[in-house]
Each structure stands twice: as structure tokens, then as C-alpha cells.
Structure 1
Amino acid sequence: MKNTLRLSLKPNEKIYLNGAVIRVDRKVSIELLNDVQFLLEGHVLQAEDARTPLRQLYFILQVMLMNPQGADEARAMFRRSLPLMLASFEDERIRAGLKQVDRMVGEDHVYEALKTIRSLYPLERIALDTSDLDEEGAPRPAAMGVN
């Protein structure tokens, strides 16, 4: 049996649990007693904020947790995007992290994969130099296997 996971939620905070959106009306602690796919509201990335390659990959995986009906399509997009991303980064730490993400997704540990991607953001920031910025100083979005 897996370890129990205890989460504390603030009033009006949301948690995405196996595709269901749950909002609590007061401070509450919940215990997850078995394996469950979840995402805390504070870790939800908005589409307009997915402006770097790793954030785009994060957004794809996030869809797998938040929208189980679209999970197969998101997984296919992940499979198309990952090789492109591995080829686009020279930093071996990022590449190793992406290989870990691939393994985690293959084992259906999407939440852990999201945590790993978030941990790579500082390395990505360093890897993206000024030639990768648009006229407003924002990273140029990368095409991520979209047809």
C-alpha cells in the first residue's frame, strides 16, 4: 500500500482530482489514501503562460491530469514533442530531466513529471539566451508537434 498523502487547502482553493474540479469553502485537510491523479490550483499553468518549451510541455501534461477525456490526445502530443525538445536543448541536466519525465509519464506518474519539469525552469531560463527573445523580451514559443 502507498503512503497516505495529506493535503491542506485554503478557503476557495481548488484541487483537480482525477479530472474533477473540487473547491473547498473553508480551510480543510484531506488525505489521499490510494493512488490518484491530482493537481493543486497553485500549480495550474494558464495557456497564455506556456511561452517556453518546458512550460509548453508542462501544459500538455497538465491537460492529462485535468481533462481525462483528452488525455490520449495530450499523451500523443507529448510523444511528438519530447524528441523535438530533447534535440533542442544542449544542457545535459535538462536532457536528463526530460528523460526522467519521459519515464515518469510512461509509468503514469504525471504529477511527479510535472514537479520535475518545474524544477527545470531555472535551467531553461539560463539556456534561453537573448537571441531566443521576441521584441518584447519574452521567450519565443516553440512549435511543439502541432499539426
Structure 2
Amino acid sequence: MTSSFKIHLRPNERIYINGAVVRVDRRVSLEFLNNVTFLLETHVMQEADATTPTRQLYFVVQSMIIDPATAPLAQKLFVSSMLVLRKTVTDAAILNGLDEVELLVESGRSFDALKAIRGLISLEDEILRQQPDDGLLEREQEAEIA
């Protein structure tokens, strides 16, 4: 028998449970008595925020959890995203993290994979901050305005 798991939600908070979106109207505690796939609203990344390779990987894994009906397609995207990341990333810590993420996803532990990817996002952000600003982003923004 599996042990129960309890979570606490605030008013108007959403939770994604086995593909269903649930919003509570008051403070509530939920106790899951069996295995369940869920994602708290605070861990959900919007598509518009998936702006870097690791954020895109997070979005793909998140999709596996939120919408189990499309999980096979998300799994294919995951595999192709991992291939691209492994070809383009040179940072050893990120590459090691990708190994961990892949093992977690393959073993059905997508929620744990999201936690690992959040750590990779922090590493990626640090790498991006260290890169010299060549004005490319600024020129792209000017082109969008024009």
C-alpha cells in the first residue's frame, strides 16, 4: 500500500491532477490516498516563458504531466530536445543534469525531472549572464518595434 500525500492550496490556486485542472475557492487541504500525477500552479511555466533551451525542455516535461493524453507526443519532443541540447551544450554541470533528467523521465518520475530542470535553468541563466552583450537582443527588440 502506498502512503498518503497531503498538499495545501490557497484560495483561487489551481492544481493539475491527472490532466484535470482544479481551482479551489478557499484554503483547502487535499490528501492523495494513491499514486497520482499532479502539478501545482506555481510550478507551471507558460509557453511564452519557454525562451531558452532548458526552459523549453521544462515546458515539454510539464506537458507530459498536465495533459496525459498528449504525453506520447510530448515524449517525442522530449527525445528530440535532449538530442539538440546534448549537441549544443558544453557545460559539464548541465550535461550531467541532462543525464539525470533523462533517467527520471524514463523511469516515470516527471515531477522529479521538473525539479532537476529548474536547477539547470539556474545554471543556464548564470551562463547567459556571463556572455558578453553584443547588442543582438537590443537590435532584435528595435526590429520588432519598427
Q: Provide the rounded CA distance (Å) in 2 between the counterparts of 1:54 and 1:18.
A: 24
Specify the alignment match of 1:143 in structure 2: none
Where 2:30 maps in the other structure, the secondary structure is strand
TM-score by length of 2: 0.86
- Cα shift at 1:2: 3.8
* Gap change, CA 1:24 and 1:99, over 3 Å in 2: same
Q: Counterparts of 1:108 and 1:78 in 2: how far apart (Å)?
A: 13
Mapped to 1, the partners of 2:45 and 2:139 lie a distance apart of 20
SS state of the match for residue 45, structure 1?
A: coil
**What amino acid does structure 1 have at the position aligned with 2:95?**
R
Please state how far the C-alpha of 1:36 moved relative to its aligned partner: 1.4
**Who is 2:35 aligned against?**
35
User: What secondary structure sits across from 1:22 in the alignment?
Assistant: strand
**Deviation (angstroms), 1:50:** 0.3
Give the match for residue 85 of structure 2: 85
Query: Cα distance 1:132–1:86, how it changes in 2: closer, same or farther (>3 A)?
Result: farther
Inter-CA distance 107–125: structure 2 relative to 1 (3 Å threshold): same
User: Which residues of 2 match residues 114-133 of structure 1 at below 5 A?
Assistant: 114-128=114-128, 129-130=131-132
* Gap change, CA 1:22 and 1:94, over 3 Å in 2: same
The answer on 1:106 being equivalent to 2:106 is: yes
Runs of 4+ in 1 over 4 A off after TM superposition: 131-134
1:135 is displaced (CA, Å) by: 1.8
- d(CA) in 1 for partners of 2:135, 2:86: 20
1:134 to partner: Cα distance: 4.2
- Give the aligned residue type for 1:135: L
Question: Per chain length, whose mean CA-contact separation is higher, i.e. which structure has more relative contact order (CA < 8 Å, sep 6+)?
Answer: 1
Q: Within 5 Å, which residues of 2 pair with 1:1-147?
A: 1-128=1-128, 129-130=131-132, 134-136=136-138
SS at match of 1:135: helix
Name the amino acid aligned to 2:85.
M
| Structure number with higher helix proportion | 2
- Give the partner amino acid of 1:76: K
The aligned amino acid for 1:120 is L
Tell me how many residue pairs correspond in the alignment: 138
Report the Cα offset of residue 20 of structure 1. Answer: 0.5
Query: Which has more radius of gyration?
Result: 2
TM-score where L is the length of structure 1: 0.86
> Percent identical across equivalent pairs?
44
